[in-house]
C-alpha cells in the first residue's frame, strides 16, 4: 500500500507584542474602521523583543510540534522551513531550527513560496517521504514580515503580522490518514505585484541599479486581490478533482489568512458555508508562511479538527504562487 504522510504533532509560536489597529492609527493616517472593513484584521503580533525573530519563532513552534508528536528528534531526517523572511538572506533558517533543536544531521533547507510556503513545503515533504528516503520530517511555516514592511506605507503595513506553525509528519502504511492530494502552481509574470525588489543580485543594496527602488514590501493590492480570489478557488477545485472528491467531502476549509473578504469570496465560490471555514486573520493579520499551520493549530485546539476529518488548506502569495492540500486529519 502507498505510504501516506501523516501529521503526528503540531505546534505554534507567536511574538508577545500585540499591535492593534488603534495603536497603528496613532502613528499613521489610518483607522480601525477602514482596516476592519477592507481586511477583517483587528490586531496582529509583531516581533519587538530582542530575541524574537524568524529562527526563534520557528524553533519554538518546532519544539512544540516534536513534543506533541512523540517522535524522537534523532529520527527526523528532513527539516523544511517555509519562509521568505529568514534570519539571514542565507544560510537557511531550516539549519537554525536543526541546531536549536539538536536534530542530528538531517537534510535541511528553506522553501521560498511566500504565503503558499506551507502548502509547498508539505508537498515537498510528502514527495520525499513517499519515496521512502526519510520516515519523519519537520515542516515549519514561519515569517516575520513586520520586519520587511514600510511602516509609513498604510496600504501594506496594516496587513501583516508575525507567527510560526510547525508539524512533524511520518510516513505510514495501511492508513487512509495524512496528505491525500496536493496541487501547486506558479506564474512568474506576476512577480512584481508583490515583492521586495532591493537586496538581491539584480538590485543590490546601495547599487546604482537600486536607486529609486524600495528595500521593503511593495504591492499592487488590487491585482493581488483579484489574483487571490481566483487562485484560491482554482487550486481547491483542482486538488478536489485530483482526489476524486467534492466540496461536500470537506469537513473544514483552512485557507491562508490574508484578508477576510478574500476568504469569504473564495468560500462562496466553493459553496462552503461559514461553519466549515476556519478564520483567525482577525487576531493575527497575514502571517505569510506561518498562516496555514497556525490556523490548523488553533482549529485543533478549538476542537474544530478531529481525527478522520477531511481538511482542505489553500495558499497564495508572492511569486506568484498558489496551491492547495487535502489532508485527512
Ligand atoms: N487606511 C486608510 N486608508 C487606506 C489605507 C489604510 N490602511 N490603505 C489604503 N487606503 C486608501 C487608499 O489610499 C485609497 O485612497 P484613495 O481612493 O483616496 O486613493 C483607498 O483607501 C482605497 O485603496 P485601495 O487600495 O483601492 O483599497 P482596496 O479596497 O483595494 O483594499 C487592500 C486594499 C486591503 C490592500 C486589498 O487590495 C487587498 O487585500 N489586496 C490583497 C493583499 C494581499 O492579500 N496581499 C498578501 C499577498 S500574500 C504574500 O505573499 C505576502
317 CB within 6 A, ligand 1: yes
Which atom of ligand 1 is least distant from the CA of 256? 48
Reported as a single tens digit per residue, the pLDDT across 271-317 is 999 999 999 999 999 999 999 999 999 999 999 999 999 999 999 99
- Among 14, 8, 317, 315, smallest CA distance to 164 is for 14
Q: For atom 44 of ligand 1, which residue has the closest CA?
A: 258
Ligand 1: centre distance to CA 189 (Å) = 22
* 256 given a catalytic annotation: yes
Q: CB of 57 closer than 6 A to ligand 1?
A: no
User: Residues 209-223: pLDDT tens digits?
Assistant: 999 999 999 999 999
Phi-psi region of 132 (alpha: psi -120 to 50; beta: other; left: phi over 0): left
Contact 158, 24 (CB under 8 A): yes
132-147 pLDDT, tens digit per residue, is 999 999 999 999 999 9
Tell me the whole-structure pTM to 2 decimals.
0.96
**All domains of the chain in start order, with CATH:** 4-176 (3.40.47.10), 179-328 (3.40.47.10)
Sign of CA dihedral 164, 8, 66, 325: negative
Q: Is the CB of 151 under 6 A from ligand 1?
A: no
Amino acid at each position: 500500500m502507498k505510504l501516506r504522510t501523516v501529521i503526528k504533532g503540531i505546534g505554534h509560536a507567536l511574538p508577545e507584542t500585540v499591535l492593534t489597529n488603534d495603536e497603528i492609527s496613532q502613528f499613521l493616517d489610518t483607522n480601525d474602521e477602514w482596516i476592519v472593513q477592507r481586511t477583517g484584521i483587528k490586531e496582529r503580533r509583531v516581533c519587538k523583543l530582542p530575541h524574537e525573530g524568524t529562527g526563534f519563532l520557528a524553533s519554538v513552534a518546532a519544539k512544540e510540534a516534536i513534543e506533541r508528536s512523540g517522535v524522537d528528534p534523532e529520527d527526523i531526517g528532513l527539516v523544511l522551513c517555509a519562509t521568505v523572511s529568514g534570519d539571514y538572506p542565507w544560510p537557511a533558517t531550516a539549519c537554525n531550527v536543526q541546531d536549536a533543536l539538536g536534530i542530528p544531521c538531517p537534510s535541511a533547507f528553506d522553501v521560498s513560496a511566500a504565503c503558499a510556503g506551507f502548502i509547498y513545503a508539505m508537498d515537498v515533504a510528502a514527495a520525499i517521504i513517499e519515496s521512502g528516503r526519510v520516515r519523519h520530517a519537520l515542516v515549519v511555516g514561519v515569517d516575520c514580515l513586520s520586519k520587511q514592511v514600510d511602516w509609513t506605507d498604510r496600504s501594506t503595513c496594516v496587513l501583516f503580522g508575525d507567527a510560526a506553525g510547525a508539524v512533524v509528519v511520518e510516513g505510514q502504511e495501511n492508513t487512509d490518514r495524512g496528505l491525500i492530494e496536493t496541487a501547486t502552481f506558479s506564474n512568474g509574470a506576476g512577480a512584481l505585484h508583490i515583492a521586495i525588489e532591493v537586496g538581491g543580485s539584480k538590485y543590490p543594496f546601495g547599487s546604482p541599479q537600486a536607486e529609486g527602488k524600495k528595500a521593503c514590501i511593495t504591492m499592487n493590492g488590487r491585482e493581488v486581490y483579484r489574483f487571490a480570489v481566483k487562485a484560491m478557488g482554482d487550486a481547491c477545485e483542482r486538488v478536489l478533482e485530483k482526489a476524486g472528491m467534492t466540496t461536500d467531502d470537506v469537513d473544514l476549509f483552512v485557507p491562508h489568512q490574508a484578508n477576510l473578504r478574500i476568504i469569504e469570496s473564495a468560500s462562496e465560490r466553493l459553496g462552503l458555508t461559514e461553519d466549515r471555514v476556519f478564520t483567525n486573520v482577525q487576531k493575527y493579520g497575514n502571517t505569510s508562511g506561518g498562516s496555514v499551520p497556525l490556523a490548523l493549530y488553533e482549529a485543533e485546539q478549538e476542537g474544530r479538527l478531529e481525527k478522520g476529518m477531511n481538511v482542505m488548506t489553500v495558499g497564495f502569495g508572492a511569486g506568484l504562487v498558489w496551491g492547495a492540500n487535502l489532508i485527512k486529519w
